[in-house]
């Protein structure tokens, strides 16, 4: 699969979200970080903002839920217009049931792992998912340094996906930039979230193109 670049609006101007979404037209997905100040020590946005954003842009929304009780909330993000919904396995009560519900409602189901959460216990769940997200920083804030120690986990996960012959996308999120994206791609990631590397650039659309080129090189 060609590399996909998903700009994270966490690094955008929240008062101008529609314009900020337009500034990265050509990106594959728009990454929307939902934080509840419980699962992570930060607070961002919720269902009404996602609903409005879905109306304001043609770029599909990739909602990353860093929240408690995703079993209760994730389906509402599908209804709000998200094309992909990621829940954290550390917060989910019934990840298989939840993934099935997200898919049944018509979105791609994705599961995220914090840096300290291993992939091995979840090998049998992989067929239930459309994407797996490996966090390459502790979730909660944009602009943190990429954790190189996550590279072996990315590699092992790619091996598991191949072993089972799955179509699953492998996303990385946190500290992805021009200086780290090639390492992630080399380890087997194919979907790249970038917040500060895109919205911190003088030309965000050009930053998306440059990242994609590096990931595919
Ligand atoms: C962090 C979020 C990320 C964040 C990435 O918890 O999940 O999506 O926006 O930002 P950068 O790319 O700046 O590390
Ligand atoms: Zn994210």
Question: Can you give 123-157 as a three-state secondary structure string?
Answer: HHHHHHCCEEEEECCCCCCCCCCCCHHHHHHHHHH
Task: Report the distance separating Cα 136 and Cα 115, nearest Å.
Answer: 6
- 70 CB within 6 A, ligand 1: no
13 catalytic per annotation: no
Q: Which of 33, 36, 62, 190 is catalytic?
A: 33
Report the pLDDT value the prediction gives residue 1, as an integer from 0 to 100: 76
Over residues 127-179, the pLDDT tens digits come to: 999 999 999 999 999 999 999 999 999 999 999 999 999 999 999 999 999 99
User: What confidence tier does 42 reach under pLDDT thresholds 50, 70, 90?
Assistant: very high
Minimum-distance ligand 1 atom for the alpha carbon of 195: 12
Q: Kindly state the DSSP code that residue 217 receives in the 8-state scheme.
A: -
Catalytic residue among 36, 62, 173, 190: 173
Ligand number nearest CA of 180 is: 1
Q: How confident is the model at residue 29 (pLDDT cuts 50, 70, 90)?
A: very high
Across 14-30, average pLDDT: 96
CA distance linking residue 156 with residue 51, whole number of Å: 36
User: Per-residue confidence at 109, pLDDT binned at 50, 70, 90?
Assistant: very high
DSSP state of 195: S
The distance in angstroms from the start CA to the end CA of the chain is 13
pLDDT tens digit string along 177-190? 999 999 999 999 99
Over range 186-197, report the average pLDDT: 98
Q: Which of 7, 153, 135 is nearest to 66 (CA)?
A: 135
The strand order across the sheet containing 84-88 reads 4-7, 191-194, 169-173, 131-135, 108-113, 84-88, 61-66, 30-35
Ligand 1: does its nearest atom lie under 6 Å from the Cβ of 7? no
Secondary structure, 3-state, 37-90: CCCCCCECCCHHHHHHHHHHCCCCEEEEEECCCHHHHHHHHHHCCCCEEEEECC
For the chain, percent of residues with pLDDT exceeding 90:
98
What does the chain come to in residues?
A: 217
Number of structural domains, the chain?
A: 1
How high is the ipTM of this complex?
0.99
Whole-number Å distance, alpha carbon 141 to ligand 2 midpoint, is 9
Q: For ligand 1, what atom is nearest to the CA of residue 40?
A: 6
CA of 8 to the centre of ligand 1 (A): 6
Whole-number average pLDDT of the chain: 98
Atom index in ligand 1 nearest the CA of residue 42 equals 6
Residue 19 among the catalytic residues: no
CATH code, domain with 68: 3.20.20.70
Question: Domain range for residue 171?
Answer: 4-216
Q: Is 31 in the pocket of ligand 1 (CB under 6 A)?
A: yes
């Amino acid at each position: 699969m060609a590399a996909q670049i998903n700009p994270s609006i966490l690094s955008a101007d929240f008062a101008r979200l529609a314009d900020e979404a337009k500034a990265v037209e050509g990106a594959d997905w728009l990454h929307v970080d939902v934080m509840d100040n419980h699962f992570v020590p930060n607070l961002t946005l919720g269902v009404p903002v996602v609903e409005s954003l879905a109306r304001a842009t043609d770029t599909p929304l990739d909602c990353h839920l860093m929240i408690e009780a995703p079993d209760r909330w994730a389906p509402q993000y599908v209804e709000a217009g998200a094309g992909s919904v990621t829940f954290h396995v550390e917060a989910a009560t019934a990840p298989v049931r939840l993934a099935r519900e997200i898919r049944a409602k018509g979105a791609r189901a994705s599961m995220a792992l914090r840096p300290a959460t291993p992939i091995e216990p979840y090998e049998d769940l992989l067929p239930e998912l459309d994407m797996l997200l490996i966090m390459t920083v502790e979730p909660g804030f944009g602009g943190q340094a990429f954790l190189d120690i996550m590279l072996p986990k990315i590699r092992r996960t790619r091996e598991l996906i191949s072993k089972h012959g799955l179509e699953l996308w492998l996303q990385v999120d946190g500290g992805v930039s021009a200086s780290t994206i090639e390492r992630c791609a080399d380890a087997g990631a194919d979907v790249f979230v970038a917040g500060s590397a895109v919205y911190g650039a003088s030309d965000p659309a050009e930053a998306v193109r440059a990242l994609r080129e590096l990931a595919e090189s």
